[in-house]
Structure formats: C-alpha cells, structure tokens
Chains A and B, each alone.
Chain A
Amino acid sequence: MSQKLLLNSKEIHLTLHRLACQLIENHGDFSNTVLIGIQPRGVFLAERIAKVLKETYQIKNIQLGQLDITFYRDDFRRRDEPLKANQTNIHCIVENKNVVFIDDVLYSGRSINASLSAIQSFGRPNNIELMVLIDRRFSRHLPIQPTYRGRQVDVINEEKVVVNWHENNDEDAVYIITKN
C-alpha cells in the first residue's frame, strides 16, 4: 500500500477560506441558509467552514446541521459490512431555505442522492447546493456535480481518497492511497 499527499495542512487552510468566500458571495448574511454536514465525515468539513465564516468573516447566526443518510442509502443489504447509523441534528425546518450539503469527497454521487431524499423529511428547500473538499472526476454513477469544490482529482477506482482532520486523526491532510 502506498500513499501520496494531495493536500497538506496549509493547503487545506487556504482551500477552506476560498470555499467560505465563495459561500459568502452567494449567501450574503446567511439569514436564509442552512449548512448541512453529511454524516459521518462531511460533518468535520461543515464545522470547519462554519468556524471560518464565524471567526474570520464575522458571519453571525449560522445554521448548521448534521444529516445521516444510512436509512436512505440504495445499497442497504448489498454491502458486505452493514453501516451503523449516525446522529441527525437538524433543529430547523428547511422549508424555503437555501440548503448547502457539505461532504468531504464526492465519488459516485450516491450519498448525495440519498441526502436529497433524506432532506425532504425536513421540508421543501428553496434550493440545494453541494460543497465538497475533493471532487473525484470521471467516477460518477449519477448526474450530480458540486457547486463548490476544493480540489478536483483524477483517481482510478482502485485508489482511495482519505481526508484526515485534526478532530479525528491529529492532522489536516488529504491522501491518495493505492493498494498494491
């Protein structure tokens, strides 16, 4: 197994600020916006983006939620290892809100497809956008594309993109891992 560093801590820091600025361009004071981290790994990115918006750009009243899609997945009972459900925390109705889904890696698009079904249980949003840190080009199974992307990469199916955060792995870094 070999691994290649795709983004280091400094590059992630810069990318987070760029993504935050792009959000501000489209969402102004965020009064009608809800940021939703997709469980489990999108939650870390969502929290970081919210932190940058609050601390660097003084955006107040950011509405941040966490959405678990386990019960909406189209591969239920088709996986070798069953998935364990995570917590959903959405404390507001998303009716007529601008929703931004936030996830770490966009691969097949199936998780986002499940997220689009799941969010409807909380109302009918005005629109939904998608932010990802890493967009794996040419690997989509569904017609889903990100609105905001940190970095686009071309990675073959046998390779894996792993995003580490200080919160769970003691470092901010993105690696491409190849199984030999």
Chain B
Amino acid sequence: MSQLSTQHLLGIKHLKEEDINLIFETADQFKEVINRPIKKVPSLRDITIANLFFENSTRTKLSFELAEKRLSADVINFSASQSSVKKGETLIDTVNNILSMKVDIVVMRHPNVGAADFLSKHVDARIVNAGDGTHEHPTQALLDSYSIREKLGSVKGKKVVIVGDILHSRVALSNIYALKLQGAEVKVCGPTSLIPKYITELGVGVETNLRKALEWCDVANMLRVQNERMEVKYFPTTREYAQLFGINKDLLNSLSKEIVIMHPGPINRGVEITSDVADSKQSIILNQVENGVAIRMAVIYLLAQQIKRN
C-alpha cells in the first residue's frame, strides 16, 4: 500500500491499520530528514496550507507549522481571537474565504465536536483535524503510538494505561482507537467521575487504582486535567487528585518492572506527574514532541500526494 485510504485525516476512527503502517513508514524517512544538516525537502513547494486554530494551542500549532515548512509548503496561520469570527462570520464562510486564496490543505483545531468532519463535507480542500473539542486528536494518537513503537519495537500486544481526565480528553479517545487498531491492550484509569460511562464498549478496561494500573501496564500515558472544559467540580481538590492519580518517583520506583512514561503536554508538574518522573530516563515526553513533527510531515505528505497536478 502506497497511499492512504482516506482523503482527509478527521479521526483515527476512519483509518485502517494499513494507513497507520504507511504513516509510520513514511514518518521513519522524515525522522531521518529532520536530523540532517538541512532539514527540508522540496516535495510540497506548490502546496499552500492554512492552519486554522479556533482554540488555543502551542505545541500542536508549532509542530504542524514546522512540519509544513520542512516540506516546503506555503503556510498561512489564522487564530480565531484575531479574526472576523469575532464579528459573527460562520465557519464555512471563514474557510471558503481562505480557500479563495487557493489553499490546498486545511489544518483545523476547533472547540466543537465534529467541526473537521463538517468542514470536509462543505469545502473543497483536504482537512486535517488538529483536535475537535473532546472528540479526536488523530495526529497526537499517531505520534503516541509511533513513540511506543520506537521505544518498545511494536505496539501489538503492549499494555497501555491512559491515566487522568478521560471524559474531556480527545487524546484519550484517539489513542484508544489507534492502540486497539494496532492490537494493544488498553486500560483507562482515573476518578470515576472523569471516566465516561460507556467507555468499556470501546474494548478497554477500567481501573480506578493507579498502583494496580501501573503494575499491569508497559506504558502509562498521563493526561492533564482539563479544567477549562469543566463546568462543575469532578473531584474535591487538586491536591487529592495528585495524591490518588498523580505519578511520582517513589511510586515509579516501587513497581516490579520498568514502565515507559508518556504525556501529550502541556504538563501540570506536581499534579498528574512530578518533575523527577517527567525528566526521568523512563519518560519519552520529549521524544513524543520530536516524533510529532515527523508524523505530521508524513500525514501532510501522504494527503498532498493525492492532490493531482497536470
């Protein structure tokens, strides 16, 4: 297989295992490219990409922008806080105006679930979902699986626990789809108030005791508590959350085996993870960031490959 089965990257749910393998094999080559003295290839020199961020982002936005520039694409950036969206313009109008400037690919982050899917049905461009509300964040899940594959050789058969605010996390949902598709065993762990009621229907286990979850797993993906999405209180205090669901060096050292620690960022040091764990040799947090650029280059390259030019 040398091309993706999909025209857009809206979510992991729409991908096949072969798509993920193709993205990873392509990312392997881009990882070599970004470690060269000159970290740029000319493949996308006639492609224009719009990064539309209707929600705050640091890491993802920079990672996408760097990936696009490393592929030699022309890049335009847009953030909702400085735009006509504030003046009442609709999403389709905003995007169609941008597309009139001959844009080929749109990378979009939006606070509403399904925004990327909606856009893909109404505009003539390839869409990459960079996070839609609490729904999916496919490139994050791809780079997480890619980092596990890099560290442990493969994802198949590995035991992965996703710890924290599962209810509000698009990273958790995309990760569950991606890990299950590649044959990993997945558990989620967190306060019962932050675990969706029907999560087990996705084929994942639920564990509310962090120590038990960590003893079971090969990889722990620690998520941030998304206070900005919480309208009510889901746990009594941050201190109590950190005591029950935060990982620290003593807990890590007391486990019977060495596990891999991941975090999609931004980290709340001292809440879900302490500094000594985040900076320990078991942590692959910075590898995830580096792999993010290679994965995003691969996704954009493979989508651009389908845009025919004569």
Q: A179 contacts the other chain (Cβ, under 8 Å)?
A: no
Report yes or no: A85 in contact with B26, Cβ–Cβ below 8 A.
yes
Q: A70 contacts the other chain (Cβ, under 8 Å)?
A: yes
Report yes or no: A77 in contact with B307, Cβ–Cβ below 8 A.
yes
Interface of chain A residues 143 through 171 with chain B (CB within 8 A): none
Interface of chain A residues 51 through 96 with chain B (CB within 8 A): 68, 70-73, 76-78, 81-88, 93
Report yes or no: B43 in contact with A121, Cβ–Cβ below 8 A.
no
The closest CB in chain B to the CB of A86 belongs to B29
Report yes or no: B29 in contact with A88, Cβ–Cβ below 8 A.
yes
B32 surroundings in chain A (CB, below 8 A): 87-88
Report yes or no: B29 in contact with A121, Cβ–Cβ below 8 A.
no
Q: B36 contacts the other chain (Cβ, under 8 Å)?
A: yes
Q: A138 contacts the other chain (Cβ, under 8 Å)?
A: no
Report yes or no: B33 in contact with A71, Cβ–Cβ below 8 A.
yes
Q: B2 contacts the other chain (Cβ, under 8 Å)?
A: yes
A88 surroundings in chain B (CB, below 8 A): 29, 32-33
Question: Contact flags (1/0) for B23-42 with A, using CB distance below 8 Å?
Answer: 00110110011001111111
User: Looking at B26, B41, B301, B308, which has the most chain A CB atoms within 10 Å of its CB?
Assistant: B41
Q: B56 contacts the other chain (Cβ, under 8 Å)?
A: no
Q: B197 contacts the other chain (Cβ, under 8 Å)?
A: no
- Measured CA separation A117–B38 after assembly (Å): 11
B304 surroundings in chain A (CB, below 8 A): 77
Question: Contact flags (1/0) for B1-35 with A, using CB distance below 8 Å?
Answer: 01100000000000000000010011011001100
The closest CB in chain A to the CB of B27 belongs to A85
Q: How far does the Cβ of B184 sit from chain A's closest Cβ, in whole Å?
A: 25
Interface of chain A residues 71 through 128 with chain B (CB within 8 A): 71-73, 76-78, 81-88, 93, 117-118, 120-123
Q: B281 contacts the other chain (Cβ, under 8 Å)?
A: no
Supplied contacts A70-B29, A71-B42, A76-B305, 17 more A-B pairs, CB within 8 Å: A71-B29, A71-B41, A71-B43, A77-B304, A77-B308, A78-B308, A78-B310, A82-B2, A82-B305, A84-B2, A87-B28, A93-B37, A117-B42, A120-B38, A121-B38, A121-B41, A122-B37
